Amino acid sequence: MHQFLQENSYPKELRESIISLPREEGWIAPYMYNYKGIWIPPHHLYGALRCQQHFQAQDSDIILCTLPKCGTTWLKALVFALTTRKQYSHETQSPLLTTNPHGLIPLMENIYSRENSPNFPLNNGVRLLSTHLPHALLQKSVVESKCKLIYLCRNQKDTLVSLWHYANKSRGEVLGLGAIPFPEAFNKYRRGASVYGPFWDHMLGYWKESLENPSKVLFLKYEEIKEEPEVQLRRIAAFLGCPFSEEEDEGGVAGGIVRLCSFESLSNLEVNKTGKGPVIPIGNNTYFRKGEVGDWRNHLTDEMATRLDQIVEEKFKGTGLKL
C-alpha cells in the first residue's frame, strides 16, 4: 500500500499536523481529516502543507482548480492540447496519445507529498498545474501573482455518483477495503464530508472570485463543455490570451482538440486502458467511467435527489450560481 495510506508510516511532520484534527472514515484513504473546514485525505494534506511552504507561483502559471470527479482529467487534456498546439501541430504528435492527462499536468498536493522542490515541466515556457484546494486555502503567491486559475464544476448529483464509483474502485484496488454502501456515501456527501468538501463552499469560493476577478479566474461547468465543447474551448483560449487565429480556424484546429480530448478518444488509448498513476497506483481507466450528464438517475432515489437540490438551492441563493 502507498506510504501515505498507512497511518503508521506517516512522516512525523504530518502526524503532528493532524493529531488534533477531527477525522472520519475516508473515501480514498482509510481516514480523512478536517483541515480549516475542508475534508482532506492525509496524503493530500501533507502535500498541501508542503506546497504552502515551498510553492512560489509565477505570473505565467496556469492552475486548474477542481473538486475531484468534476472532470479534472478532461480539463487537463483540453488545456494541455490548447496551450501546446503550436508545439504539437499534428494530432499524431500529441503527448496525450501516450500519457494520461494527470501525467502531463500534475496535481500539486500529490507532487508536494513526495518532494519539497519539484521541477515542474514547462510547456511552451508555461507551467501547467492543478489543485483540488478551495480558493480560501490557495497559497498567497497564487492569489497575489498574475497566474491564471481555471475552475471546473459539475452537477452535485453526478459528482457524487462519480466519486462513489471512483472511491470504491480505489478502495478495492489500492486499499484492499470494501465498497462504501451508496446510502452511506450520500449521507457523507450531503453533510459536506466528501473529498475536499463541502462541495458548496468549494464551488462558491471560486464562483465569487470569478465574478470579482474575471481576468484571474475562469469558471466553467462540465455540462456546458459537454453541450458545446468548442465554444467552451474558445472561452478558455480567450481567457488565456491564446485565441485561435483565422488560419487555425480554417484548419479546424479547435475541432481537432475537442476530438482528441473527447471521452471516446482518450478512453480508448492504450495508456488510458492499461496504464497506472504515478503516485497512487490506480489504473488510468478509473478516470474514464461513463462521461455522461445525468447518470445520477441510475443511483439516487427521488428523495436523495431532492435533498441535494435543496442544499444547492439554499447555499447558492442570491449568488447567481446554478448547477
**Which residues bind to ligand A3P, rule: CB under 6 A?**
66, 68-74, 158, 162, 165, 261-263, 266, 287-291, 295
Phi–psi pair at 89, nearest 5 degrees? -70, -20
β-pair partners for 130 = 64, 107
User: Nearer to ligand A3P by C-beta: 23 or 295?
Assistant: 295
Distance CA(296)–CA(310), nearest Å, equals: 16
The residues near 125 (Cβ < 8 Å, ≥ 6 apart) are 60
Residue 230: CB atoms within 10 Å: 15
What is residue 280's DSSP assignment? Answer: S
User: Nearer to ligand A3P by C-beta: 134 or 291?
Assistant: 291
User: Nearer to ligand A3P by C-beta: 5 or 70?
Assistant: 70
Q: Report in angstroms how near the CB of residue 111 gets to ligand A3P at its nearest.
A: 17
On whether the CB atoms of residues 304 and 297 are closer than 8 A, the answer is no
Nearest to 150 by CA among 225, 99, 89, 256: 225
Q: Report in angstroms how near the CB of residue 20 gets to ligand A3P at its nearest.
A: 31
Contacts within 8 Å (CB) and 24+ apart, 205-213: 205/134, 205/135, 205/136, 206/65, 206/134, 206/135, 206/149, 206/151, 206/153, 207/151, 207/153, 207/319, 207/320, 207/321, 208/135, 208/319, 209/135, 209/149, 210/151, 211/320
Nearest to 68 by CA among 167, 143, 175, 145: 167
Q: Report in angstroms how near the CB of residue 321 gets to ligand A3P at its nearest.
A: 19
β-pair partners for 127 = 122
Q: Report in angstroms how near the CB of residue 137 gets to ligand A3P at its nearest.
A: 18
Q: Report in angstroms how near the CB of residue 323 gets to ligand A3P at its nearest.
A: 14
User: Nearer to ligand A3P by C-beta: 289 or 307?
Assistant: 289
User: How many angstroms separate the Cα of 127 from the Cα of each of 61, 104, 124, 130, 147?
Assistant: 5, 10, 8, 10, 10
- Helix (H) and strand (E) counts in the chain: 16, 8
Radius of gyration of the chain (CA): 19
Q: Which of 43, 44, 102, 132 is labelled catalytic?
A: 132
User: Nearer to ligand A3P by C-beta: 71 or 134?
Assistant: 71
Q: Report in angstroms how near the CB of residue 289 gets to ligand A3P at its nearest.
A: 3
Active site residue 132: yes
User: Nearer to ligand A3P by C-beta: 195 or 217?
Assistant: 195
Give the residue numbers annotated as catalytic, written as ranges. 132
